[in-house]
Amino acid sequence: MSATTSQLPPRPPLIRHSVTELGRFCLEMGSSALLQPLSRLLPRGDGHSVMVLPGFMASDSSTAGLRRFLGERGYRALPWSLGRHGAGDRARSLEASLAARTETEERVAALVEQEFTRSGRKVTLIGWSLGGLVAVALAHRYPQWLRQVITLGTPYGDPRGTALYRVMAGRNPAPVDEDAIQRWIRHAYRGTLEVPVLALYSKTDGIVGSDIALCQGDTRWVRNVAIPASHIGFPFNPLVRAAIARELAAGAGE
């Protein structure tokens, strides 16, 4: 699998999508609560382990509702148990941030191996935003432990295509290193992919621009599906949850 590069920096999300993130998130939470009785109609799972990886600066508390939903659908829903994602990254360069990301991947890989050994069954990873980059990187490097990967609003491309880039750039005031940007993009794609990846993205995402929202790769393994959602609302959105339930059940042969 290889990433697609561009001569020009990608476009960040539209301002109107960014400023309405909170309001849409509240609507998504309310909709999930209102439609909760209908979730019983969604396909049930086979009991295998599903680990949920939080987004940047988020912790397991942000994915508790999604894990509860997965548990109700019959899966062994697991937190990542590594605290706040990226909280310890005080890197002053993109290279140092990439090193921290690599360390996080290895810590998650150890947890996945442990769960695989315990259960004797392959594990599914669901990664929200930055958590999706970790999940896809592991899919390339450790297919022996992974059943499938689902990503939610993951920024696959140039980080300049996110609304948070200015904040991150403030931590790293040096001029943009184009080579480092390309190494960041390619990092998740190292190795041969033989694990199914479903990338759920939103054209109205207020954090991740649509230019960088698609996972690149062999369509035998990778599918990109658009769902109307806010970025912070992905784990709470009822349509996203329904898509996850159907994908997990399909992967189980139901």
Answering whether pTM is above 0.85, one says yes
Contacts made by residues 57-61, CB under 8 angstroms, sequence distance 24+: 57/84, 57/85, 57/86, 57/87, 58/84, 58/85, 58/128, 58/129, 59/83, 59/84, 59/85
pLDDT, one tens digit per residue, over 30-89 is: 998 888 888 888 999 999 999 999 998 899 999 999 999 999 999 999 999 999 998 666
Mean pLDDT, all residues of the chain: 89
d(CA 52, CA 63): 7
Contact 195, 188 (CB under 8 A): no
Question: Contact, 179 vs 234, CB < 8 A?
Answer: no
Looking at the DSSP assignment, which residues form a beta bridge with residue 222? 197
State residue 97's pLDDT score. Answer: 81
The predicted pLDDT at position 82 comes to 94
> Domains (ranges, CATH) in the chain?
15-36+46-251 (3.40.50.1820)
What whole-number distance in Å separates Cα of residue 34 and Cα of residue 6?
Answer: 42
Q: Average pLDDT in the 160-186 region? A: 76
- Read off the pLDDT band of 9 (50, 70, 90): confident
Calculate mean pLDDT across residues 91-114: 87
